[in-house]
Structure 1
Amino acid sequence: MSRQRPLFQVSAGGVVFKKSATGIRVCLIGRRMNGQIVWGLPKGHVEKNESLEQTALREVREETGISGSTLSPLGFIQYSFFDLESKKRIFKTVHFFLICYLKGKLNDHDDEVEFVRWYSAKEALNRAEYPSERQVLRKAIGKLKQHK
């Protein structure tokens, strides 16, 4: 039995925020999985000749309908999963950036995403499905509170 080589993927995404009269608002995307809505951060694959920052801005625009500007990197998360289609284990690294809302409408996103919503920072932390993404959210919220 031969062992297949694992696949390594690099992605980038963002914690998109805007300030409102009621405080910081964070944008999350929702996808239906196994009959439930799973909320998370917009992210996706790096395309050829694209920087991580460019990828994050493009993915945010495609998945949320929002154009933004990056303020700072937030670090990266790593995880692995088994891809049923390729029958290979995928090891993924996702780099995140803090992104300030500039313009756009939440209903102008691609079909890959079913729901896009603004949430308070606290509610975004409660809704985000994955612990690693909640950790990225906490870091982003901490940075925003430092620079009021």
Structure 2
Amino acid sequence: MIISAGGVVYRKENGVLQIQMIQDRYGKITLPKGKMEPGETVEQTALREIKEETGIVGKIRRKLEVISYQVTDPATQQQTEKQVHYYLVEAVGGKLAPQVEEIRGVEWLEPEKAWLQQTAAGYDNNHSVLRKALSNFGIEVK
């Protein structure tokens, strides 16, 4: 099994809630995440990956969801389960800077625009993650 972690990163800019969305190397809209390294907790992995991919320092506010799906292990070419632990993460520092080796771009969006991008060009298994994050702010989406 491969374990990854990441998060829905948010901030309040002049009192307006903004959600961070990234565009991955395949052109899909997604959330920052990455593989757990030896000796890390899933929480440490989530915060490290967010910082590496987006430049933002975060603070975990709550666990959102664990999603699982099948991937091909690059080392063995065998199908294996991948688990991704997602957290609601408040941006507390850093400067927005995409890790160009990993992703094409990163931006802050108002919640409704983030949801539109997710449903139009995101991975289906992230719909429930973003929906749960938005519901923490009293925002219900369909």
- Give me the TM-score of the superposition, normalised by structure 1: 0.83
Q: Matched residue pairs, number?
A: 136
CA RMSD for the aligned pairs?
A: 1.9
C-alpha contact (below 8 Å) 2:25/2:102 kept by paired residues: no
C-alpha contact (below 8 Å) 2:11/2:18 kept by paired residues: yes
CA distance in 2, matches of 1:143, 1:106: 23
Gaps of 5+ in 2: none
Bigger Rg, structure 1 or 2: 1
The equivalent residue for 1:78 is: 68
The equivalent residue for 2:137 is: 144
Give, as a single letter, the amino acid of the residue that structure 2 aligns with 1:50: E
The equivalent residue for 2:54 is: 64
Q: Which among 69, 79, 92 is matched to residue 89 of structure 1?
A: 79
SS at match of 1:80: strand
Deviations 1:32-74 (A, max 9, x none): 32xxx21100001111111111100000000010001000111
C-alpha contact (below 8 Å) 1:61/1:109 kept by paired residues: no
Gaps of 5+ in 1: 1-7
SS at match of 2:44: helix
- Give me the TM-score of the superposition, normalised by structure 2: 0.86
The answer as to 2:3 corresponding to 1:13 is no
**Structure 1 segments of 4+ aligned residues over 4 angstroms from their partners:** none
